[in-house]
Chain A
Amino acid sequence: MTLARRIIPCLDVDAGRVVKGIEFEGLRDMGDPAELAARYNLEGADELVVLDISASVEGRATFLDTIRRVAEQLNIPLTAGGGIRKMEDGRAVLRAGADKVTVNTAAVERPQLISELAQQFGSQAVVLSLDVKRTNSSWEAYVRGGRDATGLDAAEWAAEAVLRGAGEILLTSIDRDGTCSGFDCALTAKIAATVPVPVIASGGASTFEDFLAVFTEGKADAALAASIFHTETHSIAALKKFLARHGVPVRLSK
């Protein structure tokens, strides 16, 4: 009996469409969120993450509708976030059909937000989204889509967020994101050893071996990726079979 390592596709959504950011400049359309969700649900994804990356007010308005449309397609857990600033934002996301909500920038500005959400909805529903950049000698937390430095040490901030009630850490390496050079295993292992909650590694996934490394060297509980699944570079089923062959416990769909 083993807790399986999870494979989690991520949908970055802008104005109701799944997009892929190209070096923080242009956005490329990758499809309809509900259609992709249905595909991943069928292919054996263990969970789905939907993030609102829209900068505009109009984009935000459609996000709750996107969550509803995606949730209807799933019989696996759904995490949603992006731009969650207050308790009511979290409630709206959960009401729309998400099981968990991610917080990032607003939680750095006002850590009490994590406590409020955890008290209301339980720690299992609160995920700290932690975007990290490597500095000279350590790792620093960044906010606003990876644009602004916070001065916070990533591991210290993760530990504080957990004390406040975060039940999971979605850890993104900004250095690796979009580079296809593999997960930052050293960063993931560091955070996984620091916090007593599950860590989802994100940023840099390209090959099957990258996933194997983040589960073994990186001690990740789950691994998240977006474009390599959207473009059908890799199927989730094939990835899981590869991991199982290498001794990583995964849930194989029958």
Chain B
Amino acid sequence: MKLTIVDYGAGNLPSVERAFEGLGAQTERAVAPQQLAAARAIVLPGVGHFSAFVAGLRERNLTGALRAAWQAGVPILGICLGLQAMFASSEEAPGEAGLGFFPENVCALPTNVKSPHIGWNQLRRMRESRLLQGIPEDAYFYFAHSYAAPATAPATVAACDHGISFAAVIEQGRLAAVQFHPEKSGETGARVLRNFLESLS
């Protein structure tokens, strides 16, 4: 299986590539819309600022191609900021449109807890999940973020609590996304990526 990893100009792609390649997948970096049009499965990793992310996609003409891939039912896995970009908008960049796969607004974590939410945290399962199959309920995942999508988003299959309850894992049709970094979450994270690969075949 060949994965097309979206390269929007920032982000730590090598660790995502290495994680998938370690599971036997091939990867290519997409910097042009034609590559997304031809993709069989897309990974959308991201770190940093919401506006830099959507601007990076726009400058490379990848926004429309991602929406077209979504509408065509191509499997997409969003990671961290890649999850947030799937929503309509974010408090981090008011007025800046996300990809809009989901209608909700991404919010800042509240000020009564430490933010960024950095470190290993556990999940609260809400429904059956493809990505979390075979992973113990009390497993830890590595998070590093200051903004999050609300757990009330209907596509949420697992939530995490840090001041608020937010969407940690999202699955809807061929769309999947995680707020944590599976490529940095040890063996547990590798299992999430393997589950994604297995869902493709």
Kindly state whether residue A50 has any CB partner on chain B within 8 Å: no
Given contacts A46-B120, A77-B184, A198-B114, contact A71 B15 (CB under 8 A): yes
Stretch at the interface among A2-10, A18-26, A53-61, A223-231: A2-10
Given contacts A1-B124, A6-B119, A77-B142, contact A120 B15 (CB under 8 A): no
> In the complex the two chains form, what is the Cα distance from A99 to B146 in whole Å?
15
Q: Is the beta-carbon distance between A6 and B120 smaller than 8 angstroms? A: yes
- Shortest A101–chain B CB gap in Å is 11
Given contacts A4-B121, A97-B15, A167-B116, contact A75 B190 (CB under 8 A): yes
Contacting A at CB under 8 A, from B77-117, are: 81, 111, 114-117
* Tally of contact residues, B, Cβ under 8 A: 40
Q: Is the beta-carbon distance between A75 and B47 smaller than 8 angstroms? A: no
Q: Is the interface of B mostly helix, strand, loop or mixed?
A: mixed
> In the complex the two chains form, what is the Cα distance from A94 to B15 in whole Å?
11
Q: Is the beta-carbon distance between B120 and A4 smaller than 8 angstroms? A: yes
* Tally of contact residues, A, Cβ under 8 A: 35
Kindly state whether residue B162 has any CB partner on chain A within 8 Å: yes
Q: Is the beta-carbon distance between A124 and B47 smaller than 8 angstroms? A: yes
Q: When the two chains form the complex, which single residue of B10, B19, B118, B183 contacts A124, counting CB atoms closer than 8 Å?
A: B118
Contacting B at CB under 8 A, from A202-236, are: 221-222
- Shortest B155–chain A CB gap in Å is 20
Residues on B with C-beta less than 8 A from A46 are 119-120, 142
Q: Is the beta-carbon distance between A196 and B111 smaller than 8 angstroms? A: yes
> In the complex the two chains form, what is the Cα distance from A198 to B143 in whole Å?
13
A126 nearest CB neighbor, chain B only: B116
> In the complex the two chains form, what is the Cα distance from A253 to B47 in whole Å?
26
Q: When the two chains form the complex, which single residue of B12, B162, B190 contacts A3, counting CB atoms closer than 8 Å?
A: B162
Q: Is the beta-carbon distance between B119 and A121 smaller than 8 angstroms? A: no
Q: Is the beta-carbon distance between A122 and B47 smaller than 8 angstroms? A: yes
Q: Is the beta-carbon distance between B118 and A167 smaller than 8 angstroms? A: yes
Kindly state whether residue A119 has any CB partner on chain B within 8 Å: yes
Kindly state whether residue A123 has any CB partner on chain B within 8 Å: yes
Q: List 13 A-B contacts (CB under 8 A).
A: A1-B123, A6-B120, A41-B186, A75-B187, A76-B185, A120-B10, A124-B47, A124-B118, A197-B114, A198-B114, A221-B119, A222-B119, A254-B136
Top-7 shortest CB links A-B = A122-B48, A124-B144, A251-B140, A4-B120, A124-B116, A1-B122, A167-B116
